[in-house]
Amino acid sequence: MSDINWRLAARSLKRDLRAADVRALFVALVLAVAASTMIAFFLDRLERGLERQAGQMLGGDLVLEQRDPFPEELRNTLEQAGFTLSDQVDLVSMISQGERFQPASLKAVDDVYPHYGVSHVDRGSGVEQIASGPPAGEAWADPRLAELIEIEIGDRVQVGQTELTISGIIEREADQSAGFGNFNPRLMLNTADLEATGLVQPGSRIEFELLAAGPPTALDQVQGLLAQLRRDGVEVRDVRVDRPQLGNALQRAESYLGLAGLAAVLLAGVAVAMSTRRYVERHLDTAALLRCFGASQYQLVTIFSLQLIGLALMASLIGALLGLVGQAVLLWLLTSFLPMTLPPPGIMPLWLGIFTALAVLVGFAGPTLLRIKQVSALKVLRRELDPLPPAAWLVVGVASIVFGGLLWLYSGSFPLALALLVGGSALLALLWGVSSLLLNGLLRAVQRLKGGGEWVQAFRLGGRQLARRKQAGLGQLLAFSVTFFAMAMIVLVRGDLLTTWQDQLPEDTPNYFAINIQPGERDAFEQAVAPRVDTQSTLYPMVRGRITEINGQAPRDAVPADARGDNSLRRELNLTWQSELPEGNQVVAGQWFTPESEPEGWMSEVDATPSSDSETVPISVEDGLAERLGLGLGDEITFAVGSDSITTRIESLRSLNWDSFNPNFFV
């Protein structure tokens, strides 16, 4: 590219910065970049904050779990990808101290633990934050275990065939989530002591976990390996899938912010298209002079393109700075609603802002700028030799394609972007048709005006001007229509979002939950709670059962290959029984229980305990679980409940409202 092109572009841009159309173009690009980068900075920080918190709660960026030790070949592959590995073993055993015995969940960790975060441990002189596990020969007990078997720091406890010294009371584990998945008291020990306990035996119910920490690129490299591990029945969790959920409310807020940012980009694009049209018309004479001086069509397009690209880069930098400030203000306003401290801003939103500015420029200004290429040198002598304006379909088509690409980029979903683009294009065509009909009707009405008054003459003159520039008038009318539509859409979505938030949780939503109430304690519990609460939900009976057979086959053989590692096949599920369909549940297939479908006496008492003596028991299964495991109506599932084996038959599938604070059950 010739230096003269750069010099001409720079001089022309410096001179044009004083022009109204260029200033409007510049402001439109600044606003587009500021809106997009503000949303991008905020969402990027939120995403990275969620992944960081997920890494702390999971114990690593990637967690693999199975019943057998992991092979060395797998370890080497993960290490070559850039991961640091840590081993963890989970099992349940009896802990004793003197004459006191208590079943507890044992967690054996190595010297690398934890990858992220710290454990809060009371070692006798107050709670300390410790970035390691207990050393060999020592163990940390949680407060429940310490209370149940009456142990203090320094006491010795029997774990299998060995004794360990309690050197701390662990208040919070570095990788312990806040769910209700584990009700047992816990004891943490070092993997170096695991062999001495004698608890790792053939047939023991042990879970081996491999915790891996590494950069995002490492996780990208092993996606194929993870897919194969899932098919082989290994439970795979990573920070991108198993991150802590903030609920649909925040997800809707993210969608709304993205929509608002795209609406701002669309409005800026309309302004860019209109400003570029005026910019090109103003420079047609300059382009004709350059053609007289020997400039080629390629040079014309290059010079004026460089001007607009330089303008876009300046607008990108200013817009990115405004977006950075804007996201800081947005974060300050939302600090009380966020459950974590977000990491500092990254660099990617800046590149996104620059790309957005260039994309808007190409999509909304590119077709109009091509008029420069058609300028003839004879225009210097003949004013009527203006090049024809670009076809409307070309302007709208290129802008739609670019905006569709931005939709895909911002939403991350091609089907959603395609649906929005098709719907928006249909609406645009409808607006164009309606605008054309209205304009034609207006012109006919003006032509039929009678009389010679001042107002009639003014209307006739205006009508003739519109008739001569009908396409330009239609374009401006369409631009204003799109502007008002985008603004109305943002207002309507905002109102719907606020209404959804307000209606999501009723006023009587519970904020305290009682678990593991024994049947003999039910009446006393209700009497103690009743005077202290305004409302109380139903008490649900609950037992824990493990799936042992599906249609007479081993669970892993009966489900699809990609479901063999599903967590529901590897743990005990919470089971309940009752005659009435719970609130927030909806039967989507089959029918709810009838008296004829229930084995005699099965659900006559809410405190009854399931019995293996009953015939096949009808059950209702959550539709998401049924879909994952490939289950349908009439399928039989056998559960191991304690020492009993209960055979069940799926009679209905239910959808659940997981956003409610009511107790929900898969079965």
pLDDT, tens only, 490-527:
666 555 555 655 555 566 666 677 776 777 777 777 77
541 pLDDT higher than 70 = yes
Distances in whole angstroms, Cα of residue 658 to Cα of each of 68, 239, 492, 665: 33, 21, 26, 10
pLDDT tens for each residue of 545-561: 888 888 888 888 888 87
Q: Are strands 100-109 and 138-141 parallel, antiparallel or unpaired?
A: unpaired
How many residues would you count in the chain?
667
pLDDT of residue 507: 64
Q: CA angle at residue 122 from 118 to 124, to 5 degrees? A: 145
Distance CA 549, CA 151 (A): 41
Residue-by-residue DSSP string for 517-560: --GGGHHHHHHHHGGG-S--------EEEEEEEETTB-HHHHS-
Q: CA angle at residue 144 from 174 to 61, to 5 degrees? A: 20
Residues 485 and 427: beta-carbon distance below 8 Å: yes
Residues 39 and 258: beta-carbon distance below 8 Å: yes
**Per-residue pLDDT band at 190 (split at 50, 70, 90):** very high
Q: With H, G, I as helix, E, B as strand and everything else as coil, classify residue 653.
A: strand
43 pLDDT higher than 70 = yes
The residue type at 44: D
Distances in whole angstroms, Cα of residue 144 to Cα of each of 90, 152, 182, 337, 519: 18, 12, 13, 31, 22
Can you give the three-state secondary structure of 598-644, one letter per residue? CCCCCCCCCCCCCCCCCCCEEEEEEHHHHHHHCCCCCCEEEEEECCE
Residues 6+ apart with CB under 8 A from 5: 299, 302, 303, 306
Burial (CB count within 10 angstroms: exposed 0-12, middle 13-18, buried 19+), residue 267: buried
Q: Which of 301-310, 603-612, 632-641 has the lowest mean pLDDT?
A: 603-612
Task: Return the H-helix or E-strand segment holding 15.
Answer: helix 3-16
Name the one residue in this structure whose structure tokens are 């409310």.
249
pLDDT tens for each residue of 425-459: 777 778 777 777 777 777 676 666 666 666 666 66
pLDDT tens for each residue of 225-260: 888 887 777 888 877 665 544 455 556 666 666 666
**Torsion angle in degrees (nearest 10) through CA of 52, 53, 54, 57:** 130
pLDDT of residue 465: 62
Residues 610 and 617: beta-carbon distance below 8 Å: yes
Distances in whole angstroms, Cα of residue 280 to Cα of each of 215, 357, 365, 495, 510: 48, 19, 10, 41, 64
Distances in whole angstroms, Cα of residue 112 to Cα of each of 84, 108, 155, 634: 9, 12, 26, 48
Q: Which of 235, 228, 203, 240 is nearest to 61 (CA)?
A: 240
* Dihedral pair phi/psi, residue 20, rounded to 5°: -65, -40
Distances in whole angstroms, Cα of residue 224 to Cα of each of 56, 218, 221, 231, 613: 24, 12, 8, 11, 47
Strand-pair partners of 427: none
Q: With H, G, I as helix, E, B as strand and everything else as coil, classify residue 406.
A: helix
Q: CA angle at residue 371 from 369 to 372, to 5 degrees? A: 80
pLDDT tens for each residue of 365-399: 777 777 777 676 665 555 544 554 555 556 666 77
pLDDT of residue 189: 92
Distance CA 233, CA 218 (A): 22
Q: Is the dihedral of CA 465, 469, 470, 474 positive or negative?
A: negative
- pLDDT average, residue stretch 183-198: 86
**Per-residue pLDDT band at 609 (split at 50, 70, 90):** very low
Name the one residue in this structure whose structure tokens are 């690209």.
309
Residues 6+ apart with CB under 8 A from 218: 61, 81, 82, 83, 212
Can you give the three-state secondary structure of 263-316, one letter per residue? HHHHHHHHHHHHHHHHHHHHCHHHHHHHHHCCCCHHHHHHHHHHHHHHHHHHHH
Expressed in angstroms, the distance from the first to the final Cα of the chain is 70
Residue 114: count of CB within 10 angstroms of its CB = 23
Q: Which of 547, 576, 573 is nearest to 636 (CA)?
A: 547
612 pLDDT higher than 50 = no
- pLDDT average, residue stretch 17-42: 80
Which residues in 73-94 are b (16+ Cβ under 10 Å) and which e? Answer: ebeeebeebbbebbbbbbbebe
Q: Are strands 543-550 and 100-109 parallel, antiparallel or unpaired?
A: unpaired
pLDDT tens for each residue of 550-608: 888 888 888 887 777 777 777 778 888 877 887 778 888 888 877 555 555 444 444 44
Looking at per-residue pLDDT, the higher value among 199 and 394 belongs to 199
Q: Which of 535, 546, 543, 545 is nearest to 519 (CA)?
A: 543
Strand-pair partners of 618: 649
**Per-residue pLDDT band at 180 (split at 50, 70, 90):** very low
CA-based R_g, the chain, Å: 34
Residues 257 and 43: beta-carbon distance below 8 Å: yes
pLDDT of residue 115: 86
| Structure tokens given for 26 | 């510049």
Q: Please provide the average confidence, as pLDDT, over all residues in the chain.
A: 76
What whole-number percentage of the chain has pLDDT above 70?
73
pLDDT of residue 181: 43
What whole-number percentage of the chain has pLDDT above 90?
2
Q: Which of 108, 40, 512 is nearest to 322 (CA)?
A: 40
Looking at per-residue pLDDT, the higher value among 423 and 130 belongs to 130
pLDDT tens for each residue of 348-359: 888 878 887 887
Q: CA angle at residue 562 from 561 to 566, to 5 degrees? A: 110
Kindly list the domain boundaries of the chain, sorted by start residue. 3-53+248-497, 84-213, 538-656
Q: Which of 10-19, 446-455, 559-568, 654-663 has the lowest mean pLDDT?
A: 446-455
Looking at per-residue pLDDT, the higher value among 637 and 601 belongs to 637
Q: Which of 86, 87, 85, 105 is nearest to 95 (CA)?
A: 105
Residues 379 and 288: beta-carbon distance below 8 Å: yes
Residues 40 and 48: beta-carbon distance below 8 Å: no
| Structure tokens given for 252 | 């809707």
**Per-residue pLDDT band at 285 (split at 50, 70, 90):** confident
Q: With H, G, I as helix, E, B as strand and everything else as coil, classify residue 506.
A: coil
Name the one residue in this structure whose structure tokens are 């044992």.
106
| Structure tokens given for 663 | 């107790």
Q: Which of 319, 329, 326, 327 is nearest to 351 (CA)?
A: 319
pTM: 0.60
Distance, C-alpha 554 to centroid of its chain: 35
